[in-house]
Structure 1
């Protein structure tokens, strides 16, 4: 087995990664050109090239049909190429955190292509192949539970491509009010990830944006039909101007006012109340071909006010970063004023303001006296919004602050949620919260609901959204009610005479808000028996029994998708950052079986027609800044939104940039190649020595050696210059995802002046003969079994790990990740991450 080079030896070594996008900079930021450049959004700079349509998305629209408690949404995107060159359009857009995306289709002229679901890698591979062949194709991928990316390839000049995505979601009333929210734009995210080493699911963060106040370049429309089955007393839309009309069968139709056609820069929110303050509850069922599904919605008891409430300590974490400048920070100040004024004199509080840094206003908790509250508010009111959103350090510091007190704690996080480390935040809360709880407030017109809802879920609290100061006042009042006493605790569900399985969620949290208890699941055999829900209230024991004979069985096909989405939510949305292979495989199987978009499954649609023009320009659709968000949310980075223009559709990025050096074992320091460019089909390398070597005058030429990551030699050529141009197609390098480049100085006789193989790490060829033979025998035995190639690789990797041969284990996992396909490739990547975590200290 060949050895993987992990460190720089006394040759000049460069790892080149294939497949990353390179950007054309109109104005460089300070980090540009440095390996320390982090992922970040940027302001779009449109070029004057009339051949390329830089804003191919022309309109987005949605049709929403609400039947009972289930909403079915058809989202429509229209792409038109007004330029002269074929395009690939990349568009990042949001959806509800509860959306179960179950279908996609693409219309090319009169041809309608229904998308197929596949594993994420498989769908991407089919899409890239179709793009290279000149076929029109579309690919829908999930980046976060509420963030998706649509890629549409080979949009020919003057062509119109229409892509439709369908999803369903459950509407759950709170205080008798139903709310449907439709996000329209993904807000810019703050990230500390290094761009060149970012994970694939992070790269969407580098999005182009329009300047503050500039309207979207595409139009927006939405209409919502509400058929609740019983009369609707009140309907309102707080976010947009609408026209509301009465329809047949007690339904309402909400249409967007034509004046709002550029209103795709904030969440669209419709709320409605049923006659008599009625809420729909009970049991919904669906008998499928192979499986039967149910959904229990049980209204909790009324709140019981406690007369004696023990004192509590409140720790408020307020986001004061640059994205909160202006409108959001003003709403926050209104909110915190109401929250503090609602504290009782027996309570204690402290406030942390965080951006790139974080500081408490007091070294210890303050009594909730009027004087202390007034002093705290004065400090907050004078604070301006600046800097980045370093949420994790702020949370960590808050959890570790003043841990000695015996008073019950409640943490309150107030933020717009414009960060990318959602799961890391969930993990931090899960592992550090202890007996406390956490509530979260999302401030703004396009908040990151995934983060806001997830933090509250992990903190056993409730999320709140405040899009304006009036809603901030209402949210503060709700918070005061929720924190005093829960509606229902120790909730248990018992199925009597009904054979159920795969019930979600596994446990029912305490009920704080006046919204139904939800239980999803499957059942076998006949629908019979009853479901009993028990718990504790402020007055004593609670019990409610639902007879299955009263279940609603009509038009509930969506339960199949809703159960699958709830299962994925349990497995993935709020779970650990690193999932086990068993968890990943479950999610994968659910996505494929139920035709559902997940983090590991995607939709792909491919037209059969091959277009003549195959040279494609990729364009990242620029997004508007959400209403009320200032330019400070992005900073001063400007670029074009043309991702790549290349006949080969290939781009190379260096894993290290020019100017970095490495000292070899012979004491000589070498510069890494300081230029790596793609010109047409050619890869351009250049390099230099940093310090004079004793053999400086002996160098006659340089030999360029290119290997794959198992050190199989792919290319070798010598040159007298300190540069080389390589044709990547002619020399068959384009098929490799990444490879290693070594620059070897040669003397006049053609002999190497340094040892190119002098690299660090344990390998088979460095072991003693006896141990070497033993290991080779073990590996040979494994590969002689009848198991699949993937299973053989996994067993060999585990064997090397057991022998503490870290480099060889890493080499085997790298080989698996590079050579395997589809599901096994994903498994290799998951097992590799588990290996790295298990052996972190040993590898160091």
Structure 2
């Protein structure tokens, strides 16, 4: 009994501290821990925007993108400031460097284990030194802390990362995220774990004076290819292009883009028409030989026989989906439902704080049932929290059609903080079910969307607006019905291959190249790497000779990209099991100078500038992603709920006292 009371007391105190933290910090927080604009004891006119500009310089050389992000902080106030800024990155980014420039001095950050880096930063902060700390909160969410920005100081932080661009059906896509959407934190455990970054303030609207236009956003892309570039377009921004020739082009934001920092920058293009740029790249580093294969897959052929199928759609109707995202989700659902056949069955689970189902059991996909589904979809306007994990538990437990292969399609913006809990659950419930994830919105949580799809052995889709909804149903059907290739293997011929990522290549659903990173040794004359697989018509075989290996500039990034691929397996998509791989993750981070969940970059200028060692903590407010309603910022849990917990604690304590008195009397 004492032990139970102890844990209950600890839980109540934890909740008390959590809500006290939220109220003390912002005065207008929400259940998602995303407060409105807030500066403690600050002058809103001068203290709330230490970040002056954020600019990205992106070089795309073949299939590899190198991104340099420069953030400039300035203090226009009258007192020292410690600034915190939460910002996004690509889900595939290998973050490999950070430098800090203050006046004429440039300091290169060092990679350290996270706790050691934090201690170094806090010590420098207390000693009144300029310092910067870069942490990874999610593979696509980073947090920058900058200490002791003095009045009139200008601090420039430069972040470098690289990523591999993999085409889908011949289309290459560069995604440069510009804003982190608000996260719903319904789970108290996840809430406590993520409160440090999830509680970042969001501006209410332009009248608040804090829209993204106040932070200058710049994007410049330099694209170079060994073969002609075609069909270049930006999905969500107006761009200005300068073609140097048919293989080289410079891309920037159009002068009319005044508010570019509230949605993902997405650039799409093709190389040599419909063909995929296949090939082999190698590089030697620290005595090891690294390779990267990108091999063109066979053409998709329709399966002669398709299994009987059932579809379960799990649709987000929470507050963050209100308006534009939910309107787009309706169009996506119409596309998906319209592709169902009468002999197939389906059901829909709508979720926000709770969940509602279209039918207790799957329905045949008749016109009448499809119309009933769309009518129910139209009835939702968006409101409440985003309880995705409970919704997935309900979905996996729902009745299913016997002898039918079930596919689950999740439609959401992904604004939750419990990503790992979600795909842990998916991995435990695969059985005969695969899962496809549809991200809806201008700045979706791609980490969640991609990870859920990979955990569910399906495919991720991101739909930024209604103009992209058309055709998504047909793409979905193609992936579900006819797997492109299975039993894929990479083997060395006259060479030993090892440390390959992925070690096991899954069934290929999409028409994107086979991508394999790895290392090789003991290469003989005429050595080659062979890829084999089975298709619906024939066996597949591709051979790439090491004698024809690529020697172009981006090859120098292969060790870092290989390490990032391994991190994805050990960390990003391992859910709560990632802790088991902690030592391996730390070793990769330190050896390859990479940001991970257990390693951080820290930079310290040894000159003491703040002799009083006192500074005001300021959190850089973020804009809401374009099209996301303020309903994404839910209201706080009412105070009486905490009161009821306290009454329960008092009641249990009183009950224990009575029991002890009774037992004492019996003695």
How high is the TM-score relative to the length of structure 2? Answer: 0.90
Deviations 1:177-213 (A, max 9, x none): 1110000000000012438x95444431112101146
- Map 1:427-466 onto structure 2 (within 5 A): 427-466=424-463
- Of residues 213, 228, 232, the one that matches 2:229 is 232
* Residues 1:516 and 2:509 are matched in the alignment: no
- Of residues 73, 82, 88, the one that matches 1:94 is 88
CA distance in 1, matches of 2:603, 2:83: 15
CA distance in 1, matches of 2:152, 2:560: 37
Per the alignment, residue 42 of structure 1 pairs with 35
Per the alignment, residue 563 of structure 1 pairs with 562
CA distance in 1, matches of 2:33, 2:223: 40
Per the alignment, residue 180 of structure 1 pairs with 174
CA distance in 2, matches of 1:364, 1:6: 40
Per the alignment, residue 202 of structure 2 pairs with 209
Q: What is the RMSD computed on CA atoms of the aligned residues? A: 2.9
Deviations 1:234-270 (A, max 9, x none): 2111211110111258211001113224210000010
Give the direction of change, closer, same or farther, for the CA distance of 1:592–1:236 in structure 2 (3 Å limit).
Answer: same
Per the alignment, residue 298 of structure 2 pairs with 301
Contact between 1:317 and 1:354, CA under 8 Å: does it hold in 2?
yes
Deviations 1:34-83 (A, max 9, x none): xxx95611111466636961211111010000001000000011110011
* Residues 1:398 and 2:416 are matched in the alignment: no
Unaligned 5+ residue runs, structure 2? 638-644, 662-667
Contact between 1:50 and 1:83, CA under 8 Å: does it hold in 2?
no
Per the alignment, residue 477 of structure 2 pairs with 480
Larger Rg: 1
Contact between 2:32 and 2:634, CA under 8 Å: does it hold in 1?
no
Contact between 1:139 and 1:602, CA under 8 Å: does it hold in 2?
yes
Per the alignment, residue 665 of structure 2 pairs with none
Contact between 1:64 and 1:74, CA under 8 Å: does it hold in 2?
yes
Give the direction of change, closer, same or farther, for the CA distance of 1:24–1:130 in structure 2 (3 Å limit).
Answer: farther
Contact between 1:51 and 1:84, CA under 8 Å: does it hold in 2?
no
SS in 1 for 2:107: strand
Deviations 1:119-168 (A, max 9, x none): 00000000000000000000000000000000000000010001010000
CA distance in 2, matches of 1:557, 1:315: 45
Give the direction of change, closer, same or farther, for the CA distance of 1:245–1:109 in structure 2 (3 Å limit).
Answer: same
Per the alignment, residue 267 of structure 2 pairs with 270
CA distance in 2, matches of 1:222, 1:206: 27
User: Deviation of residue 281 (structure 1)?
Assistant: 1.0
* Residues 1:368 and 2:368 are matched in the alignment: no
Per the alignment, residue 550 of structure 1 pairs with 548
Give the direction of change, closer, same or farther, for the CA distance of 1:72–1:395 in structure 2 (3 Å limit).
Answer: same
Per the alignment, residue 600 of structure 1 pairs with 598
CA distance in 1, matches of 2:193, 2:352: 26
CA distance in 2, matches of 1:466, 1:545: 36
* Residues 1:414 and 2:411 are matched in the alignment: yes
CA distance in 2, matches of 1:379, 1:23: 36
* Residues 1:387 and 2:384 are matched in the alignment: yes
Aligned length: 640
CA distance in 2, matches of 1:198, 1:459: 25
Deviations 1:797-833 (A, max 9, x none): xxxxxxxxxxxxxxxxxxxxxxxxxxxxxxxxxxxxx
Per the alignment, residue 641 of structure 2 pairs with none
SS in 2 for 1:543: strand
Higher helix share: 2
How high is the TM-score relative to the length of structure 1? Answer: 0.72
CA distance in 1, matches of 2:83, 2:657: 50
Contact between 2:187 and 2:418, CA under 8 Å: does it hold in 1?
no
* Residues 1:287 and 2:274 are matched in the alignment: no
Contact between 2:88 and 2:179, CA under 8 Å: does it hold in 1?
yes
- Of residues 467, 470, 478, the one that matches 1:470 is 467
Per the alignment, residue 642 of structure 2 pairs with none
Deviations 1:686-729 (A, max 9, x none): xxxxxxx9xxxxxxxxxxxxxxxxxxxxxxxxxxxxxxxxxxxx
SS in 2 for 1:578: helix
Contact between 2:439 and 2:446, CA under 8 Å: does it hold in 1?
yes
- Of residues 131, 156, 167, the one that matches 2:125 is 131
- Map 1:739-754 onto structure 2 (within 5 A): none
CA distance in 2, matches of 1:309, 1:5: 57
Once the two structures are overlaid, the 10-residue window that deviates more, 618-627 or 238-247, is 238-247
Unaligned 5+ residue runs, structure 1? 639-655, 670-692, 694-844
Per the alignment, residue 154 of structure 1 pairs with 148
Per the alignment, residue 835 of structure 1 pairs with none
